[in-house]
Chains A and B, each alone.
Chain A
Amino acid sequence: MLAIARQRMLGQSFKKILPAVSVLRSYSSAAKQITVREALNSALDEEMSADPKVFLMGEEVGEYQGAYKITKGLLEKYGPERVLDTPITEAGFTGIGVGAAYYGLKPVVEFMTFNFSMQAIDHIINSAAKSNYMSAGQISVPIVFRGPNGAAAGVGAQHSQCYAAWYASCPGLKVLSPYNSEDARGLLKAAIRDPDPVVFLENELLYGESFPVSDEVLDSSFCLPIGKAKIEREGKDVTITAFSKMVGYALKAAEMLEKDGIYAEVINLRSIRPLDRSTINASVRKTNRLITVEEGFPQHGVGAEICASVVEESFSYLDAPVERIAGADVPMPYAANLERMAVPQVEDIVRAAKRACYRSVPLAATA
């Protein structure tokens, strides 16, 4: 009886939760729904029309309408000089993008998946990320590298790696990873306007998902700050940090945990570099327990960095060891059941949260 009453109260207050850190964004329940794909497409469209120096470059971005249809309609609207179909030359066209950025244009380079960016990683790191520093501020590189990152469904080992940790370890790069449509629009617009190289990690499985967006998000001047995380759901018992698709899993896990009386605070990192250490630490100081969730390989991953940051700044606030949920430490297998085991699932997050709360058995509802 009391449990049901508590659930109802929480259900109402959930709708009114305002994220503590970003300025004023709220989920309106009667809002328009757009898919992440539409969000990205509209962001690109608006930024290209606002600034003629922005241009797109990548494989199949033009006539094919985008390998994942993110750049649909842009060739017709802006012409082949601004939407360039490139030959299959990652190293070459990434370098060309960097050279154009040196000279003042604003390229948006699409990698069909970030796995292909490994052929161009020399240009991303050595020519783009390090240039502002090596030239002592003379040459800034306002370029965006975007594309799907992480595992999709059954695409095998060479198409499934998550590159967040690799790129985020390099100074001079900004690394962003949106979750929902609002994130996708706001962060991509911020990335295109930004004077520094930005690696924008999308997720193929999220492209087709719809999320509600407010009118403010649909406005063409909307953009989100870089380096700021968002608290998607407030809680008091355990903090769960995640980015990209894992935010959805974390939110589902939080709902399941709530039934057992554990109120999880879910943080959508949004920005992997610069990492919003203050939000994460403030949350850990409140809840005293931390679970980090990511899809990539565990060693030297994003979770490892978050754990180190929390140990450095909030050690005395921790009541339990930090739990790190990551993909399995193997190249991604192909078989569907093995793939499911190699990527974190909602149940893994729930179990880890319960371990962190020292409650492996569901708690009986007590007032």
Chain B
Amino acid sequence: MILGRAFEDMCAQMYYRGKMFGFVHLYNGQEAVSTGFIKLLKQQDSVVSTYRDHVHALSKGVPARAVMSELFGKTTGCCRGQGGSMHMFSREHNLLGGFAFIGEGIPVATGAAFTSKYKREVLKEADCDHVTLAFFGDGTCNNGQFFECLNMAALWKLPIVFVVENNLWAIGMSHLRATSDPQIYKKGPAFGMPGIHVDGMDVLKVREVAKDAIGRARRGEGPTLVECETYRFRGHSLADPDELRDPAEKAHYAARDPITALKKYLIENSLASEADLKAIDKKIDEVVEDAVEFADESPVPSQSQLLENVFADPKGFGIGPDGRYRCEDPKFTEGTAHV
């Protein structure tokens, strides 16, 4: 959680210094949800997120250096600078994005969960029990794709957990102004899956609920809808002046900061001392500084990278009857199928 917070604060600094550009959406305040859920996953489980995905990437295991370089648009980033803040992908860590359109990631996550079930039942990989987590916000819960996927996930009993990060605001639209029934967790049972509400500012509570939901999915009992009540301390993005939110509301949630709460818990229960916590803070600061230095020193993508990776197929001619790319066959006539 500390890594998430320090990283996001550094992102804000770097943005105002001009090293980062475009749309940057920071996760301050919501760290408990990311840590609570993602730290329970195995490497083969997958996570699908939205544009507010830096901390999901970090929790899933993508190195801070790779994420920072990606934000700076350098070639050493996790997507070689081609994705950016909103499109973090990592094959190795099974982070399937990073989607800009809200609701876009939910069907993709449902598809990944579908694959897990297919691998087990059709391809007979008996030990395949991969779970998928789909993270999205309160605004998304009014979108058609959300309901379509709740239906299909429950219908086909897919191993997925739908995690709603309800931070009460969709840019400047308050959840209460946009939703006929603001209690999102109630929408789960309407589709035949359990709907659970949890305090998203308390990482230990989130973890308890997450264990249950992920366990359910892993055992093949089907999907769960978890609504985490949380709050973002900063605006929607770094371009958002954040004028509509009531300062009293912000103060209320700032008092429930998940990091301070956990620190207090650890000290009160003698699980760690002040010195230990300070050492963690310091270590994280070093990690983040190192990430920034690495990103600064990394090269920008070369010009040839512009046209690379449009297709997996190198020249776009498809695969021949022998199973190899046709362009590798020396007898295939050259053409201008430039991609």
Interface residues of A (CB under 8 A from B): 21, 23, 52-53, 55, 81-82, 86-87, 89, 91-105, 122-123, 126-127, 131-140, 142, 171-172, 174, 190-191, 193-196, 221-228, 271, 274, 276-279
User: Which B residues touch A102, using CB under 8 A?
Assistant: 96, 108, 111-112
User: Quick check: B111 and A174 within 8 Å, CB to CB?
Assistant: no
Complex Cα gap A225–B321 (Å): 10
Q: Considering only CB atoms, which chain A residue lies closest to B123 in the complex?
A: A52
User: Quick check: A140 and B312 within 8 Å, CB to CB?
Assistant: yes
Contact with A along B28-48 (1 / 0, CB 8 A): 000000000000000000101
Say whether B304 faces chain A, with CB atoms less than 8 Å apart.
no
User: Quick check: B107 and A52 within 8 Å, CB to CB?
Assistant: no
Instruction: List 8 other contacts, CB 8 Å, given A95-B104, A222-B321.
Output: A89-B148, A91-B148, A96-B111, A101-B111, A135-B89, A171-B310, A172-B310, A196-B316
Closest CB in chain A relative to B111 CB, distance in Å: 2
Complex Cα gap A81–B114 (Å): 10
Closest CB in chain A relative to B256 CB, distance in Å: 34
Complex Cα gap A123–B106 (Å): 11
Complex Cα gap A349–B204 (Å): 72
User: Quick check: A105 and B118 within 8 Å, CB to CB?
Assistant: yes
Closest CB in chain A relative to B152 CB, distance in Å: 6
User: Quick check: B151 and A89 within 8 Å, CB to CB?
Assistant: yes
Complex Cα gap A98–B105 (Å): 10
User: Quick check: A98 and B111 within 8 Å, CB to CB?
Assistant: yes
Complex Cα gap A337–B113 (Å): 50
CB under 8 Å from chain A, chain B span 201-250: none
CB under 8 Å from chain A, chain B span 294-339: 308-313, 315-323, 326, 331-333, 335-339
Q: In this complex, which of A23, A134, A172 has the most chain B Cβ atoms within 10 angstroms of its Cβ?
A: A134
Complex Cα gap A139–B92 (Å): 10
User: Quick check: A225 and B89 within 8 Å, CB to CB?
Assistant: no
Say whether B194 faces chain A, with CB atoms less than 8 Å apart.
no
User: Quick check: A96 and B339 within 8 Å, CB to CB?
Assistant: no
Given that A91-B145, A139-B91 are known contacts, is A122 also in contact with B104, CB under 8 Å in the complex?
A: yes
Closest CB in chain B relative to A208 CB, distance in Å: 27
Name 25 A/B residue pairs within 8 A (Cβ), A-sorted: A89-B148, A91-B148, A96-B108, A99-B113, A100-B112, A100-B118, A103-B46, A103-B112, A103-B115, A126-B99, A132-B311, A132-B312, A134-B79, A135-B91, A136-B308, A137-B309, A138-B79, A139-B91, A142-B312, A193-B323, A194-B318, A195-B312, A221-B321, A226-B313, A228-B335
Interface locus among B9-17, B80-88, B180-188: B80-88
Given that A21-B333, A127-B104, A195-B313 are known contacts, is A95 also in contact with B110, CB under 8 Å in the complex?
A: yes
The one of B107, B118, B313, B321 in contact with A194, judged by C-beta atoms closer than 8 angstroms, is B313
Q: In this complex, which of B110, B315, B320, B336 has the most chain A Cβ atoms within 10 angstroms of its Cβ?
A: B336
The one of A81, A86, A193 in contact with B122, judged by C-beta atoms closer than 8 angstroms, is A81
How many residue pairs, one in A and one in B, have C-beta atoms under 8 Å apart? 207
Given that A52-B123, A98-B107, A277-B336 are known contacts, is A137 also in contact with B321, CB under 8 Å in the complex?
A: no
Q: State the majority secondary structure of interface residues on B.
A: loop
Q: In this complex, which of B104, B309, B322, B333 has the most chain A Cβ atoms within 10 angstroms of its Cβ?
A: B309
Say whether B171 faces chain A, with CB atoms less than 8 Å apart.
no
Complex Cα gap A271–B99 (Å): 30
CB under 8 Å from chain A, chain B span 110-132: 110-116, 118, 121-123
Say whether B144 faces chain A, with CB atoms less than 8 Å apart.
yes
The one of A94, A138, A277 in contact with B107, judged by C-beta atoms closer than 8 angstroms, is A94
User: Quick check: B107 and A96 within 8 Å, CB to CB?
Assistant: yes
User: Which B residues touch A195, using CB under 8 A?
Assistant: 311-313, 319
Closest CB in chain B relative to A330 CB, distance in Å: 30
Closest CB in chain A relative to B232 CB, distance in Å: 24
Say whether B109 faces chain A, with CB atoms less than 8 Å apart.
yes
User: Which A residues touch B316, using CB under 8 A?
Assistant: 174, 196, 226-227, 274
Say whether B4 faces chain A, with CB atoms less than 8 Å apart.
no
Q: Considering only CB atoms, which chain B residue lies closest to A130 in the complex?
A: B87
The one of A23, A53, A134 in contact with B83, judged by C-beta atoms closer than 8 angstroms, is A134
Say whether B90 faces chain A, with CB atoms less than 8 Å apart.
yes
Given that A91-B107, A96-B111 are known contacts, is A134 also in contact with B82, CB under 8 Å in the complex?
A: yes
Complex Cα gap A230–B102 (Å): 42
Q: Considering only CB atoms, which chain A residue lies closest to B322 in the complex?
A: A221
User: Which B residues touch A276, using CB under 8 A?
Assistant: 335-337
Given that A82-B122, A99-B112, A226-B317 are known contacts, is A137 also in contact with B308, CB under 8 Å in the complex?
A: yes
Say whether B100 faces chain A, with CB atoms less than 8 Å apart.
yes
Given that A94-B107, A227-B335, A274-B316 are known contacts, is A135 also in contact with B97, CB under 8 Å in the complex?
A: yes
Say whether B280 faces chain A, with CB atoms less than 8 Å apart.
no
User: Which A residues touch B333, using CB under 8 A?
Assistant: 21, 23
Complex Cα gap A292–B317 (Å): 23
Complex Cα gap A190–B337 (Å): 15
User: Quick check: B318 and A91 within 8 Å, CB to CB?
Assistant: no
Closest CB in chain B relative to A239 CB, distance in Å: 17
Complex Cα gap A139–B338 (Å): 21
Say whether B149 faces chain A, with CB atoms less than 8 Å apart.
yes
User: Quick check: B335 and A95 within 8 Å, CB to CB?
Assistant: no
Q: Considering only CB atoms, which chain B residue lies closest to A219 in the complex?
A: B321
CB under 8 Å from chain A, chain B span 50-78: none
Contact with A along B133-165 (1 / 0, CB 8 A): 000000000001100110110010000000000
Closest CB in chain B relative to A222 CB, distance in Å: 6
Closest CB in chain A relative to B103 CB, distance in Å: 8
Complex Cα gap A133–B98 (Å): 13
User: Quick check: A103 and B312 within 8 Å, CB to CB?
Assistant: no
